[in-house]
Amino acid sequence: MAGHQHHHNLEGERLRSAARAALEAQGEQWTAMRETIFDTLASQPRPRSAYDIADAVSTARGKRVAPNSIYRILDLFVASNLAMRVESANAYLVNAHPGCQHDCIFLVCTECGKAIHVDDDSLTAHLRTQAERQSFSPKRAVIEVQGRCEACETAP
Query: Left (φ > 0), alpha (ψ -120 to 50) or beta: where does 3 sit?
Result: left
Fold topology of 104-154: Dna Ligase; domain 1 (3.30.1490)
Topology annotation, domain 12-94: Arc Repressor Mutant, subunit A (1.10.10)
Please write the tens of the pLDDT for every residue from 36-70: 999 999 998 899 999 999 999 999 889 999 999 99
Confirm whether 12-94 and 104-154 share one CATH topology.
no
Q: 15 burial class (0-12, 13-18, 19+ CB within 10 angstroms)?
A: buried
C-alpha 78/C-alpha 71 separation (Å) is 10
Which pairing describes strands 115-118 and 142-147: parallel, antiparallel, or unpaired?
A: unpaired
Q: Is the pTM of this model over 0.85?
A: no
Span 78-137, pLDDT tens digits: 999 899 999 888 999 998 877 666 677 889 999 998 998 888 888 888 988 999 999 999
Chain center to CA of 117: 9
